[in-house]
A and B are shown apart, each in its own frame.
Chain A
Amino acid sequence: MMKSSYDVVVVGGGPSGSMSAKLAAEGGVSVCLLEKDRDIGYPVRCGEAIGDSGLRKFVEPKESWFAAHLNSFSMTAPNGTSITADFTSDKGYILNRRVFDYDLARLASEKGAEIFTRAYVYGLIIEDGFVRGVKLEYLGEKKEIRAKIVIGADGVESRVGRWAGIRTQLKMKDMESGFQYTLANVNIPQNRMDFFVGKTYAPGGYVWIFPKGDGIANVGIGVSGTYSKEKSPRKLLDKFVKEKFPEASLLTTVCGGIPCDKPLKKPVKSGLILVGDAGHQVNPVTGGGISSGMTGGWIAGQVSADLIRKNKLDEKSLTVYTEWIHKEFGKNYSRVYNIKNAISQFTDEDLNNIADKVKKLPREKRTLTRIFSTALIKKPLLVIDVIKVFAGI
């Protein structure tokens, strides 16, 4: 039964919401998690790739979460030249988010968090400048739940922050318009993730092919909001799929916005914390947000439990969270954000040149530093950074 008050209310049941709920519950406070959809983990709005280290930091990986294990990646330039390289210091996975998200929510509930689906939050209770809870529709009824801290894990479309006066809307240049098919009957290597870059494939973004086992793959596209009006992600992806996988059938179609901004400078207000996509906690070059969202939740849960015990819920006390976030990945992501801006200046010709040069190196020499210290033309240091970001190392 849903109660009328909890210490912590988490809005959103993705990885960052479940991590928030789990860590807060572990900290000994009462927690309720509200998901607007009927299912945790569905619909999946994600390419589903994650690095081993980014996952293992928070949970012991389970085999049932994984559709594929990755040990290499390839990048294809606009002229068709592909560079393949092996992961040297990390490995990766393609998740089954439906299974994974469910399991994270289960872990939170095992710690005592109460989870409710089809619980649509439409407003906040704000008193004396403090967020004191949420207003929601649940099973056809309007309700209010009071909370000492509300954690907004409500995704790219986050409104929880806006209701409290945090400017969360994304600029078009910091937003990717994303579209993805899960395809069956595709014949691709099962241990490799493939990227296609350049304006012909995806202006200001990339096309990805991520294997999911049994001839299934997530094939998706992100197009920068700068170009998405002229270059429809759906049409570009349809063209790509028609050329590469004419025999494929569509199992799932999904679209979504991908925030590619720096993390929010101030993701807190008195009584409120934003985590995950809602706090723009996404790698701005790759658009990868699972492990960074889990980081946000992991920190927010701990900070909430601690501050509730101390009864310090004001914005100033909550800056503990902000500082921790910036220490954890804020600086790194600011650097990555600058890389993103630099990459956006690359022409298709630049990308072709880079790929052609790297291609001439034997594969065993394509360790990331080696490749780029010997091969590069224009902005060698920058390109090392780019590849490091993509490879997640």
Chain B
Amino acid sequence: MIVITPNKCDFCGACVAVCPVDCIDLKEADISIRHDVCIDCDLCANICPIEVLEPIYDEK
């Protein structure tokens, strides 16, 4: 699952631009991920210039 580090985001939209399933909602100073749509491709985390988004997966 992609986790958003609180209070770190600059709301630049780079993640939204690469998201293949359009599951990231970005307003003026508000970002959220619709996890039911997200496919855990991690592209948003990879493009984020300041490492706001972090893929965290349970080890099973």
Binding site for B on A (CB under 8 A): 36-38, 43, 45, 118, 120, 122, 155-159, 162, 168-172, 175, 177-179, 223, 225, 228-229, 232-234, 253-257, 259
- Take A177-B47, A178-B49 as given contacts and tell me if A170 and B18 are in contact as well, using a CB distance cutoff of 8 Å: yes
Binding site for A on B (CB under 8 A): 10, 12-20, 22, 25-28, 43, 45-51
Closest CB of chain A to B46's CB: distance in Å? 4
Which of B14, B15, B20, B46 is within 8 Å of A229, CB to CB?
Answer: B46
Q: Say yes or no: A225 contacts B51, CB within 8 Å.
A: no
Closest CB of chain B to A288's CB: distance in Å? 17
Closest CB of chain B to A226's CB: distance in Å? 9
Q: Say yes or no: A159 contacts B16, CB within 8 Å.
A: yes
How many Å lie between the Cα of A320 and that of B27 in the bound state?
32
Residues in chain B near residue A172, CB distance under 8 A: 18, 43, 46-47
Which of B16, B46, B50 is within 8 Å of A157, CB to CB?
Answer: B16
Q: Say yes or no: A169 contacts B22, CB within 8 Å.
A: yes
Which of A38, A118, A225 is within 8 Å of B47, CB to CB?
Answer: A225
How many Å lie between the Cα of A18 and that of B50 in the bound state?
29
Which residue of A is nearest B45, CB measured? A229
- Take A233-B49, A234-B49 as given contacts and tell me if A157 and B28 are in contact as well, using a CB distance cutoff of 8 Å: no
Which residue of A is nearest B10, CB measured? A255
Residues in chain B near residue A36, CB distance under 8 A: 27-28
Which residue of B is nearest A154, CB measured? B13
Which of B13, B22, B25 is within 8 Å of A156, CB to CB?
Answer: B13
Q: List 5 A-B contacts (CB under 8 A).
A: A156-B17, A159-B16, A172-B43, A228-B47, A257-B49
Contacts between the two chains (Cβ within 8 Å), count: 90
Residues in chain A near residue B10, CB distance under 8 A: 43, 253-256
Q: Say yes or no: A157 contacts B47, CB within 8 Å.
A: no
Q: Say yes or no: B18 contacts A162, CB within 8 Å.
A: no
Q: Which of B22, B26, B48 has the most CB of A within 10 A?
A: B48
Q: Say yes or no: A257 contacts B12, CB within 8 Å.
A: yes
How many Å lie between the Cα of A210 and that of B16 in the bound state?
27
How many Å lie between the Cα of A233 and that of B52 in the bound state?
13
- Take A234-B50, A234-B51 as given contacts and tell me if A156 and B14 are in contact as well, using a CB distance cutoff of 8 Å: yes
Q: Say yes or no: B12 contacts A256, CB within 8 Å.
A: yes
Which residue of B is nearest A253, CB measured? B10
- Take A155-B13, A157-B17, A257-B14 as given contacts and tell me if A228 and B28 are in contact as well, using a CB distance cutoff of 8 Å: no
How many Å lie between the Cα of A233 and that of B47 in the bound state?
9
How many Å lie between the Cα of A177 and that of B17 in the bound state?
11
Residues in chain A near residue B51, CB distance under 8 A: 232, 234
Residues in chain A near residue B17, CB distance under 8 A: 156-158, 168-170, 175, 257, 259
Q: Say yes or no: A175 contacts B49, CB within 8 Å.
A: no
How many Å lie between the Cα of A168 and that of B20 in the bound state?
9
Residues in chain B near residue A158, CB distance under 8 A: 17
Q: Say yes or no: A257 contacts B19, CB within 8 Å.
A: no
Residues in chain B near residue A255, CB distance under 8 A: 10, 12, 14, 49-50
Q: Say yes or no: B28 contacts A177, CB within 8 Å.
A: no
Closest CB of chain A to B14's CB: distance in Å? 3
Q: Which of B13, B22, B25 has the most CB of A within 10 A?
A: B13
Q: Say yes or no: B27 contacts A120, CB within 8 Å.
A: yes
Which residue of B is nearest A168, CB measured? B17
Q: Say yes or no: B18 contacts A228, CB within 8 Å.
A: no
How many Å lie between the Cα of A37 and that of B29 in the bound state?
8
Residues in chain B near residue A170, CB distance under 8 A: 17-18
How many Å lie between the Cα of A340 and that of B26 in the bound state?
30
Q: Say yes or no: B46 contacts A256, CB within 8 Å.
A: no
How many Å lie between the Cα of A202 and that of B47 in the bound state?
14
Which residue of B is nearest A167, CB measured? B20
Closest CB of chain A to B6's CB: distance in Å? 17
Q: Which of A118, A169, A223 has the most CB of B within 10 A?
A: A169
Which of B14, B20, B27, B45 is within 8 Å of A175, CB to CB?
Answer: B14
How many Å lie between the Cα of A175 and that of B49 in the bound state?
11
Q: Which of A253, A255, A256 has the most CB of B within 10 A?
A: A255
How many Å lie between the Cα of A159 and that of B18 in the bound state?
11
